[in-house]
Structure 1
Amino acid sequence: MKNLVILLFGTLFLVSCADRPSLQKYFVKNTESSAFIAVDLPPSLIKTDKFVLSEAEKEALKSFDKMNILAFKSDSSNAVAYDKEILEVKTILKDESYQQLMKVGSGSDGASIYFVGADDEHIEEFVILAGKKENGFAVIRVLGTNMNPTHVFNMIAILQKSDVNLEQLKPLQALVK
């Protein structure tokens, strides 16, 4: 009986430690790759000292922890690599922990927004996947605590009003050109 219990716990341990792909692992694997541009943005990027925040904007800013951006720059010489990488990201986002919130565009041009959380009022992570085959794609992870879709829209409004330190975004300019 004791051996059966040990075997059961051992099997449970191995199954719970399954090496499933995740965005976190994908970011770590590709951050140092020359094919990718990686940028981490802290909340201090957003300068709000020159305007007054509404209560909703304060709450949105408080829920935001950081943003990670990983971008793959595409050109005619790496079309096969683009297809491989975008497929890997899309496969990860098919996992049940990612719930699609919105999708725009079609085919190889477009963007999708996903979230991870217990429900749509307690979101831990928003993921934006945007791409255009000619330029490349970017995966943006917005990490926070108890975020909700309204927080995201309020954060966009704050970013539009704020004095953002664009120096931290310089590595992404090559992708946009």
Structure 2
Amino acid sequence: MKYLFTTLCLMILVSCSNKQSLQEYLISKDKDANFKTMSVATDLLVPNIEELSTEEQATLKKIKSINVAAMPTDSVNQVAYEKETRQVETILENSTYQTLMKMNADDKGMNLLYIGNDIKIDEVVFYGKSKETGMLVARLNSRDLKPNDLAKLLSMADKLDMSQIENFSENFK
């Protein structure tokens, strides 16, 4: 009995992870003065959702949330910027994210990653960094989003109300 109890305790301790998830990271930056954060409800992106086709509405409803955290470099020193970029990169490397696209040039880089498979995408993450402008992490959390739904979302871009995102991006200029 003692052996069984000890084994169960060890299994519980081993299964608990102290690694920070991207969601936890984004939440922690919400009150950080060095960061600009934004959470966007999908119904705010399309004010006239009834004007969309039934298929477009169904695709949009698959998005649960969009969270963005940005760290402009003018608000922090270089040491803090390096620390934050390392932290995000560690989270992305130590998780189940799969790379869709990755580009690096000099002191700039961007990654487009996802969690899921070729049938269903649970999460899409964009991570970009530049020593000149800062870093940005955007996370799209979804339910039953299919890979071709991403293409549909891109084709709907002209119907989206991007004013919130444009106002947010003004902080980077």
TM-score by length of 2: 0.88
2:134 corresponds to 1:136 = yes
2:6 corresponds to 1:7 = yes
Which one is further off, 145-154 or 60-69? 145-154
Moved over 2 A (4+): 48-55, 57-60, 104-108, 159-162, 167-172
- Identity among equivalent positions (%) equals 27
Which one is further off, 74-83 or 133-142? 74-83
- Go from structure 1 to structure 2 and tell me whether the alpha carbon gap of 1:134 and 1:58 turns closer, same or farther (over 3 Å shift): same
Which one is further off, 22-31 or 32-41? 22-31
Q: Write the deviation string for residues 50-99 of structure 1: whole angstroms up to 9, x where unpaired.
A: 744263x3342121111000001113951121111111101110024111
Once residues 26 and 156 of structure 2 are traced to their aligned partners in structure 1, the CA distance between those partners, rounded to angstroms, is 26
**TM-align CA RMSD:** 2.1
Q: Residue 148 of structure 1 corresponds to which residue in structure 2? A: 146
Which one is further off, 86-95 or 16-25? 16-25
Once residues 76 and 165 of structure 1 are traced to their aligned partners in structure 2, the CA distance between those partners, rounded to angstroms, is 25
Mind listing any 5+ residue stretches in structure 2 that lack a counterpart?
none
TM-score by length of 1: 0.86
Q: How does 1:24-103 map to 2 (within 5 A)?
A: 24-47=23-46, 48-49=48-49, 51-53=51-53, 55=55, 57-75=56-74, 78-103=77-102
Mind listing any 5+ residue stretches in structure 1 that lack a counterpart?
none
Higher relative contact order (CA 8 A, sep 6+): 1
- Go from structure 1 to structure 2 and tell me whether the alpha carbon gap of 1:115 and 1:169 turns closer, same or farther (over 3 Å shift): same
**C-alpha contact (below 8 Å) 1:45/1:165 kept by paired residues:** no
Once residues 147 and 19 of structure 1 are traced to their aligned partners in structure 2, the CA distance between those partners, rounded to angstroms, is 29
Q: Residue 22 of structure 1 corresponds to which residue in structure 2? A: 21
**C-alpha contact (below 8 Å) 2:121/2:146 kept by paired residues:** yes
